[in-house]
Amino acid sequence: MFFSTIGRLVWVPLAFVISAAGTVFFLVFIAKERVVEAMAGRGPDSASLGAIFDLLRQGQVLMSGLTIVPAVLVVVLGEVARIRSSLYYIVGGGLAFAAVPLLARYGQAMPGASISSIVPPTLVWQVFATAGFLGGWVYWFLAGRNA
């Protein structure tokens, strides 16, 4: 019993880091595809080069510690409640990672800004939610199914 608890204390954070790495890997390659499409002018929204540089500047904000809080809460709640459902971790990961664009803009709104300047486009929500679904599934596969 003692050794299984110690093993769990080591395995859960390790599984979380591996699932986060898989999520970031997926997000980077999807984002890279979108940037290349936009630079070629054949993407659905054909972003300008200035928008691409703005996206790169936002990458620093996305890597802040504030954006990891929702995923940690999903994992902690799942481990404490001993939830073994893959659906919980997949949907929870998707919702947690879909919240990242909002958290990345936390505190950046100008006093007279409209809601459309604060809320990211639908494509951003889709890509981040899909990356979160992947991260949730990887975590469930590694550690969540044995909670």
What are the phi and psi torsion angles at 56 (to 5°)? -65, -35
Is residue 27 a contact partner of residue 128, using CB atoms and an 8 Å limit?
A: yes
**52-98 pLDDT per residue, tens:** 666 666 666 666 666 788 889 999 999 899 898 999 999 999 999 88
Q: Which two tokens stand for residue 104?
A: 């990345």
**Can you tell me which residue has the tokens 């110690």?**
6
**17-61 pLDDT per residue, tens:** 999 899 888 888 876 776 566 556 555 555 566 666 666 666 666
3-state class (DSSP) for residue 120:
coil
